[in-house]
Chain A
Amino acid sequence: MSTRNEWPLWEVFIRSRAGLDHKHCGSVHAPDGALALQAARDVYTRRQEGVSIWVVRADQIIASDPGQKAELFDPMEDKVYRHPTFYQLPDDVNHI
Protein backbone atom coordinates (compact mmCIF):
# COMPACT_ATOMS: atom_id res chain seq x y z
CA MET A 1 0.00 0.00 0.00
CA SER A 2 1.22 3.47 -0.84
CA THR A 3 2.25 5.63 2.08
CA ARG A 4 1.90 8.88 0.15
CA ASN A 5 -1.65 9.52 1.36
CA GLU A 6 -0.91 8.82 5.00
CA TRP A 7 -1.24 11.59 7.54
CA PRO A 8 2.01 13.17 8.68
CA LEU A 9 3.76 11.89 11.78
CA TRP A 10 3.92 14.11 14.87
CA GLU A 11 6.34 13.65 17.76
CA VAL A 12 4.71 14.03 21.18
CA PHE A 13 6.32 15.68 24.23
CA ILE A 14 4.59 15.59 27.62
CA ARG A 15 5.33 17.51 30.79
CA SER A 16 4.28 15.53 33.84
CA ARG A 17 2.66 17.06 36.90
CA ALA A 18 5.89 17.18 38.84
CA GLY A 19 8.18 17.55 35.84
CA LEU A 20 9.96 20.70 34.82
CA ASP A 21 10.52 19.84 31.20
CA HIS A 22 8.63 18.22 28.36
CA LYS A 23 9.84 14.69 27.62
CA HIS A 24 9.48 12.82 24.37
CA CYS A 25 7.02 9.98 24.83
CA GLY A 26 6.00 8.78 21.38
CA SER A 27 4.31 9.81 18.18
CA VAL A 28 0.89 10.00 16.52
CA HIS A 29 -0.42 10.33 12.99
CA ALA A 30 -2.79 13.27 12.42
CA PRO A 31 -3.86 15.47 9.51
CA ASP A 32 -3.08 18.75 11.32
CA GLY A 33 -1.76 20.24 14.54
CA ALA A 34 -5.08 20.60 16.36
CA LEU A 35 -5.97 16.95 15.84
CA ALA A 36 -2.40 15.85 16.59
CA LEU A 37 -2.69 17.56 19.98
CA GLN A 38 -6.00 15.82 20.68
CA ALA A 39 -4.65 12.46 19.52
CA ALA A 40 -1.67 12.92 21.84
CA ARG A 41 -4.03 13.76 24.70
CA ASP A 42 -6.14 10.68 23.99
CA VAL A 43 -3.25 8.27 23.50
CA TYR A 44 -0.63 9.46 25.99
CA THR A 45 -2.39 11.19 28.91
CA ARG A 46 -5.14 8.67 29.73
CA ARG A 47 -3.62 7.89 33.12
CA GLN A 48 -2.84 11.43 34.26
CA GLU A 49 0.61 11.38 32.73
CA GLY A 50 0.71 15.04 31.89
CA VAL A 51 -0.31 18.64 32.38
CA SER A 52 1.10 20.03 29.14
CA ILE A 53 1.59 18.64 25.64
CA TRP A 54 3.76 19.69 22.70
CA VAL A 55 3.44 18.15 19.27
CA VAL A 56 6.01 18.73 16.54
CA ARG A 57 5.83 17.52 12.98
CA ALA A 58 8.45 14.81 12.70
CA ASP A 59 9.64 16.08 9.31
CA GLN A 60 10.38 19.49 10.88
CA ILE A 61 12.98 18.03 13.23
CA ILE A 62 16.58 18.35 12.04
CA ALA A 63 18.29 15.26 13.38
CA SER A 64 21.94 14.27 13.58
CA ASP A 65 23.09 11.49 11.28
CA PRO A 66 23.83 8.19 13.07
CA GLY A 67 26.52 7.62 10.44
CA GLN A 68 28.43 10.61 11.82
CA LYS A 69 28.71 9.12 15.29
CA ALA A 70 32.48 8.82 14.95
CA GLU A 71 33.19 12.49 14.29
CA LEU A 72 30.32 13.94 16.34
CA PHE A 73 30.55 12.02 19.60
CA ASP A 74 33.60 9.75 19.83
CA PRO A 75 36.13 12.61 20.32
CA MET A 76 34.57 13.35 23.74
CA GLU A 77 35.57 9.97 25.11
CA ASP A 78 39.00 11.03 26.40
CA LYS A 79 38.22 14.60 27.46
CA VAL A 80 37.83 13.79 31.15
CA TYR A 81 39.05 17.28 32.08
CA ARG A 82 35.71 18.62 30.83
CA HIS A 83 34.00 17.07 33.83
CA PRO A 84 34.25 19.45 36.82
CA THR A 85 35.65 16.81 39.18
CA PHE A 86 39.22 18.05 39.61
CA TYR A 87 38.51 21.08 41.72
CA GLN A 88 38.89 21.38 45.47
CA LEU A 89 35.65 22.98 46.67
CA PRO A 90 35.45 25.15 49.80
CA ASP A 91 33.55 23.43 52.62
CA ASP A 92 30.68 25.90 52.37
CA VAL A 93 29.75 24.75 48.89
CA ASN A 94 30.59 21.11 49.33
CA HIS A 95 27.12 19.89 48.63
CA ILE A 96 26.46 21.42 45.24
Chain B
Amino acid sequence: MNTPAATHESTIDLKPLGPQHAAWVLRLADGSLVLSQRLSEWCGHGPVLEEDIAFTNIALDLLGQARLLYSHAGALEGQGRDEDAFAYWRDESEFRNPTLVELPNGDFGQSVLRAWAYVSWQCLVWGTLAKSRDTALAAIGAKSVKESRYHQEHLGNWVVRLGDGTEESHRRMQTALDYLWPYTSELFHLDAVETAAMDTGLAPGLDRIAEIWTANTNATLHSATLTVPAPTPFLATGRQGRHSEAMGYLLSEMQALARAHPGARW
Protein backbone atom coordinates (compact mmCIF):
# COMPACT_ATOMS: atom_id res chain seq x y z
CA MET B 1 0.00 0.00 0.00
CA ASN B 2 1.35 3.34 -0.96
CA THR B 3 0.55 5.49 2.03
CA PRO B 4 2.73 8.31 3.32
CA ALA B 5 5.34 7.13 5.81
CA ALA B 6 4.11 7.43 9.37
CA THR B 7 6.36 9.76 11.34
CA HIS B 8 6.89 9.67 15.06
CA GLU B 9 5.10 13.02 15.41
CA SER B 10 2.02 11.87 13.53
CA THR B 11 1.34 9.24 16.15
CA ILE B 12 0.94 11.93 18.82
CA ASP B 13 -2.34 13.73 19.28
CA LEU B 14 -1.51 17.11 17.83
CA LYS B 15 -4.62 19.17 18.07
CA PRO B 16 -3.38 22.63 19.05
CA LEU B 17 -4.84 23.96 22.27
CA GLY B 18 -5.93 27.23 20.71
CA PRO B 19 -4.34 29.48 18.07
CA GLN B 20 -1.46 30.56 20.34
CA HIS B 21 -0.21 27.07 21.13
CA ALA B 22 2.64 26.91 18.61
CA ALA B 23 3.55 30.54 19.33
CA TRP B 24 4.05 29.77 23.01
CA VAL B 25 6.20 26.70 22.25
CA LEU B 26 8.29 28.81 19.86
CA ARG B 27 9.00 31.39 22.57
CA LEU B 28 10.38 28.64 24.74
CA ALA B 29 12.39 27.16 21.86
CA ASP B 30 13.84 30.54 20.85
CA GLY B 31 14.89 31.24 24.45
CA SER B 32 16.84 27.98 24.59
CA LEU B 33 18.43 28.41 21.15
CA VAL B 34 19.55 32.02 21.58
CA LEU B 35 21.01 31.43 25.04
CA SER B 36 22.73 28.32 23.65
CA GLN B 37 24.28 30.45 20.91
CA ARG B 38 25.53 33.02 23.45
CA LEU B 39 27.01 30.35 25.74
CA SER B 40 28.71 28.59 22.85
CA GLU B 41 30.55 31.84 22.07
CA TRP B 42 32.61 30.99 25.17
CA CYS B 43 33.83 27.76 23.57
CA GLY B 44 37.63 27.98 23.54
CA HIS B 45 37.54 31.25 25.52
CA GLY B 46 36.55 30.06 29.01
CA PRO B 47 38.62 31.33 31.94
CA VAL B 48 39.74 27.75 32.69
CA LEU B 49 39.42 24.49 30.77
CA GLU B 50 36.93 23.05 33.28
CA GLU B 51 34.56 25.99 32.90
CA ASP B 52 34.98 26.03 29.13
CA ILE B 53 33.64 22.48 29.08
CA ALA B 54 30.90 23.26 31.61
CA PHE B 55 29.61 26.16 29.50
CA THR B 56 29.73 24.06 26.34
CA ASN B 57 27.80 21.27 28.07
CA ILE B 58 25.11 23.74 29.10
CA ALA B 59 24.99 25.22 25.58
CA LEU B 60 24.49 21.74 24.11
CA ASP B 61 21.74 20.91 26.59
CA LEU B 62 19.94 24.11 25.61
CA LEU B 63 20.38 23.29 21.94
CA GLY B 64 18.84 19.87 22.54
CA GLN B 65 15.85 21.49 24.24
CA ALA B 66 15.44 23.91 21.34
CA ARG B 67 15.50 21.08 18.79
CA LEU B 68 12.74 19.14 20.58
CA LEU B 69 10.64 22.27 20.97
CA TYR B 70 11.08 23.35 17.34
CA SER B 71 10.11 19.91 16.07
CA HIS B 72 7.05 19.99 18.27
CA ALA B 73 6.12 23.53 17.18
CA GLY B 74 6.52 22.51 13.54
CA ALA B 75 4.20 19.54 14.01
CA LEU B 76 1.62 21.71 15.77
CA GLU B 77 1.83 24.31 13.04
CA GLY B 78 1.43 21.68 10.34
CA GLN B 79 3.12 23.68 7.59
CA GLY B 80 6.13 21.44 7.15
CA ARG B 81 8.69 23.60 8.95
CA ASP B 82 11.41 21.59 10.67
CA GLU B 83 13.91 22.65 13.34
CA ASP B 84 16.36 24.03 10.77
CA ALA B 85 13.61 26.10 9.15
CA PHE B 86 12.92 27.73 12.49
CA ALA B 87 16.55 28.22 13.51
CA TYR B 88 18.12 29.28 10.22
CA TRP B 89 15.43 30.64 7.96
CA ARG B 90 13.48 33.04 10.11
CA ASP B 91 14.43 36.70 10.35
CA GLU B 92 14.94 38.79 13.44
CA SER B 93 11.35 39.92 13.96
CA GLU B 94 10.13 36.31 13.82
CA PHE B 95 12.28 35.27 16.79
CA ARG B 96 10.32 35.47 20.04
CA ASN B 97 12.95 34.92 22.72
CA PRO B 98 13.03 37.30 25.68
CA THR B 99 15.59 40.07 25.16
CA LEU B 100 17.55 38.92 28.22
CA VAL B 101 19.06 35.91 26.44
CA GLU B 102 20.25 37.81 23.36
CA LEU B 103 22.19 40.54 25.19
CA PRO B 104 25.96 40.43 24.60
CA ASN B 105 27.95 38.13 26.87
CA GLY B 106 30.02 40.82 28.58
CA ASP B 107 32.59 39.36 30.97
CA PHE B 108 32.44 35.88 32.45
CA GLY B 109 30.48 37.07 35.48
CA GLN B 110 27.83 38.75 33.36
CA SER B 111 27.49 35.62 31.21
CA VAL B 112 27.09 33.49 34.33
CA LEU B 113 24.52 35.82 35.86
CA ARG B 114 22.36 36.08 32.74
CA ALA B 115 22.37 32.32 32.10
CA TRP B 116 21.61 31.64 35.77
CA ALA B 117 18.63 34.04 35.75
CA TYR B 118 17.18 32.34 32.68
CA VAL B 119 17.77 28.71 33.65
CA SER B 120 16.24 29.43 37.08
CA TRP B 121 13.13 30.59 35.24
CA GLN B 122 13.28 27.54 32.95
CA CYS B 123 13.30 25.19 35.95
CA LEU B 124 9.97 26.61 37.08
CA VAL B 125 8.43 26.57 33.60
CA TRP B 126 9.38 22.91 33.05
CA GLY B 127 7.68 22.24 36.39
CA THR B 128 4.39 23.79 35.27
CA LEU B 129 4.50 21.64 32.12
CA ALA B 130 4.15 18.48 34.21
CA LYS B 131 0.43 19.35 34.38
CA SER B 132 0.17 20.43 30.75
CA ARG B 133 -2.63 19.12 28.56
CA ASP B 134 0.02 18.86 25.82
CA THR B 135 1.59 15.53 26.78
CA ALA B 136 4.47 15.83 24.31
CA LEU B 137 5.41 19.16 25.86
CA ALA B 138 5.11 17.65 29.34
CA ALA B 139 7.62 14.98 28.28
CA ILE B 140 10.04 17.61 26.97
CA GLY B 141 9.66 19.43 30.30
CA ALA B 142 10.33 16.28 32.31
CA LYS B 143 13.54 15.64 30.37
CA SER B 144 14.70 19.25 30.46
CA VAL B 145 14.06 19.96 34.12
CA LYS B 146 16.90 17.61 35.12
CA GLU B 147 19.30 19.50 32.87
CA SER B 148 18.13 22.92 34.02
CA ARG B 149 18.42 22.02 37.70
CA TYR B 150 22.09 21.22 37.23
CA HIS B 151 22.62 24.40 35.21
CA GLN B 152 20.99 26.41 37.96
CA GLU B 153 23.12 24.83 40.65
CA HIS B 154 26.38 25.14 38.75
CA LEU B 155 25.82 28.73 37.63
CA GLY B 156 24.41 29.66 41.07
CA ASN B 157 27.64 28.41 42.65
CA TRP B 158 29.53 30.87 40.47
CA VAL B 159 27.14 33.74 41.25
CA VAL B 160 27.86 33.27 44.96
CA ARG B 161 31.61 32.83 44.56
CA LEU B 162 32.06 35.80 42.25
CA GLY B 163 29.66 38.06 44.14
CA ASP B 164 31.21 37.15 47.48
CA GLY B 165 34.73 36.90 46.06
CA THR B 166 37.27 39.66 45.67
CA GLU B 167 36.50 43.37 45.63
CA GLU B 168 36.94 43.35 41.84
CA SER B 169 34.71 40.32 41.23
CA HIS B 170 32.03 41.78 43.51
CA ARG B 171 32.11 45.08 41.65
CA ARG B 172 31.79 43.35 38.28
CA MET B 173 28.89 41.18 39.45
CA GLN B 174 26.99 44.12 40.90
CA THR B 175 27.49 46.04 37.64
CA ALA B 176 26.23 43.03 35.66
CA LEU B 177 23.24 42.63 37.98
CA ASP B 178 22.27 46.30 37.66
CA TYR B 179 22.51 45.99 33.86
CA LEU B 180 20.66 42.67 33.46
CA TRP B 181 17.94 42.77 36.09
CA PRO B 182 15.51 45.18 34.34
CA TYR B 183 15.34 42.65 31.47
CA THR B 184 14.03 39.87 33.72
CA SER B 185 10.55 41.39 34.08
CA GLU B 186 9.78 40.29 30.52
CA LEU B 187 9.98 36.64 31.64
CA PHE B 188 6.87 37.13 33.76
CA HIS B 189 4.87 39.53 31.63
CA LEU B 190 1.47 37.98 30.97
CA ASP B 191 0.57 39.10 27.46
CA ALA B 192 -2.00 37.44 25.20
CA VAL B 193 0.23 34.44 24.33
CA GLU B 194 1.09 33.69 27.97
CA THR B 195 -2.49 34.14 29.14
CA ALA B 196 -3.72 31.81 26.40
CA ALA B 197 -1.16 29.20 27.47
CA MET B 198 -2.58 29.26 30.98
CA ASP B 199 -6.24 29.40 29.95
CA THR B 200 -5.97 26.44 27.59
CA GLY B 201 -4.17 24.23 30.12
CA LEU B 202 -0.95 24.31 28.13
CA ALA B 203 1.13 25.74 30.98
CA PRO B 204 -1.06 26.08 34.05
CA GLY B 205 0.33 28.11 36.94
CA LEU B 206 2.59 30.43 34.93
CA ASP B 207 1.20 33.37 36.89
CA ARG B 208 2.68 31.98 40.09
CA ILE B 209 6.27 31.43 39.03
CA ALA B 210 7.33 35.10 39.33
CA GLU B 211 7.01 34.96 43.10
CA ILE B 212 8.96 31.69 43.41
CA TRP B 213 11.68 32.85 41.00
CA THR B 214 12.10 36.13 42.89
CA ALA B 215 12.38 34.35 46.23
CA ASN B 216 14.89 31.80 44.85
CA THR B 217 17.09 34.29 43.04
CA ASN B 218 17.01 36.80 45.90
CA ALA B 219 18.23 34.11 48.31
CA THR B 220 21.22 33.32 46.09
CA LEU B 221 21.98 37.00 45.42
CA HIS B 222 21.87 37.61 49.16
CA SER B 223 24.42 34.81 49.71
CA ALA B 224 26.49 36.46 46.99
CA THR B 225 26.41 39.76 48.99
CA LEU B 226 24.87 41.48 45.95
CA THR B 227 22.20 44.18 46.15
CA VAL B 228 19.05 43.36 44.17
CA PRO B 229 18.17 46.39 42.03
CA ALA B 230 14.82 48.07 42.66
CA PRO B 231 12.13 47.21 40.08
CA THR B 232 11.84 49.59 37.14
CA PRO B 233 8.92 50.23 34.74
CA PHE B 234 11.10 49.07 31.81
CA LEU B 235 9.69 46.10 29.90
CA ALA B 236 11.81 44.41 27.22
CA THR B 237 10.07 43.41 23.97
CA GLY B 238 12.02 40.46 22.53
CA ARG B 239 9.01 38.16 22.85
CA GLN B 240 7.01 40.57 20.72
CA GLY B 241 9.68 40.29 18.00
CA ARG B 242 11.22 43.70 18.77
CA HIS B 243 14.81 42.95 19.68
CA SER B 244 17.89 44.75 20.93
CA GLU B 245 20.58 45.81 18.47
CA ALA B 246 22.63 42.77 19.53
CA MET B 247 20.16 40.32 17.97
CA GLY B 248 20.95 41.05 14.31
CA TYR B 249 24.63 40.31 14.82
CA LEU B 250 23.86 37.13 16.73
CA LEU B 251 21.57 35.84 13.98
CA SER B 252 23.89 36.76 11.13
CA GLU B 253 26.66 34.73 12.73
CA MET B 254 24.37 31.82 13.59
CA GLN B 255 22.60 31.68 10.22
CA ALA B 256 25.38 32.61 7.77
CA LEU B 257 26.58 29.08 7.05
CA ALA B 258 23.13 27.54 6.60
CA ARG B 259 22.09 30.38 4.29
CA ALA B 260 25.28 30.21 2.25
CA HIS B 261 24.77 26.46 1.68
CA PRO B 262 21.01 25.81 1.70
CA GLY B 263 20.16 22.20 2.41
CA ALA B 264 23.78 21.21 3.00
CA ARG B 265 24.34 17.92 4.86
CA TRP B 266 27.39 16.92 6.83
Task: Please report A residues at the B interface, Cβ cutoff 8 Å.
Answer: 7, 28-32, 34-35, 38-39, 42-43, 46
Partner of B57, one of A28, A32, A34, A42: A42
Q: 6 A-B residue contacts at CB 8 Å?
A: A35-B157, A38-B54, A38-B153, A39-B50, A43-B49, A43-B53
CA–CA, A32 to B51, complex, Å?
14
The residue on B at minimum CB distance from A10 is: B50
Q: Are A35 and B161 in contact (CB under 8 A)?
A: yes
Q: Does B48 contact A (CB under 8 A)?
A: yes
Which residues from A are CB-within-8-Å of B157? 34-35, 38
CA–CA, A42 to B54, complex, Å?
5
Q: Does B189 contact A (CB under 8 A)?
A: no
Q: Are A28 and B161 in contact (CB under 8 A)?
A: no
Q: Chain B interface mostly helix, strand, loop or mixed?
A: helix
CA–CA, A38 to B50, complex, Å?
9
Which residues from A are CB-within-8-Å of B48? 7, 29
Chain B: how many interface residues by the 8 Å CB criterion?
A: 11
Give the shortest distance, in Å, between B5 (CB) and chain A (any CB): 32
Q: Are B57 and A39 in contact (CB under 8 A)?
A: no
Which residues from A are CB-within-8-Å of B53? 42-43, 46
Which residues from A are CB-within-8-Å of B38? none
CA–CA, A35 to B159, complex, Å?
12
Partner of B54, one of A7, A29, A34, A39: A39
Tell me whether A31 and B50 are in contact in the complex, defined as CB-CB below 8 angstroms, given that A38-B154, A46-B57 are known contacts.
no
Which residues from A are CB-within-8-Å of B50? 28-30, 39, 42-43
Which residues from B are CB-within-8-Å of A7? 48
Partner of A31, one of B57, B153, B161: B161
Which residues from A are CB-within-8-Å of B161? 31-32, 35
CA–CA, A30 to B157, complex, Å?
12
CA–CA, A34 to B161, complex, Å?
11
CA–CA, A39 to B52, complex, Å?
10
Give the shortest distance, in Å, between B60 (CB) and chain A (any CB): 9
Give the shortest distance, in Å, between B109 (CB) and chain A (any CB): 14
CA–CA, A43 to B55, complex, Å?
11
The residue on B at minimum CB distance from A38 is: B154
Which residues from A are CB-within-8-Å of B153? 38
Q: Mark B180-199, 1 if CB is under 8 A from A, else 0.
A: 00000000000000000000
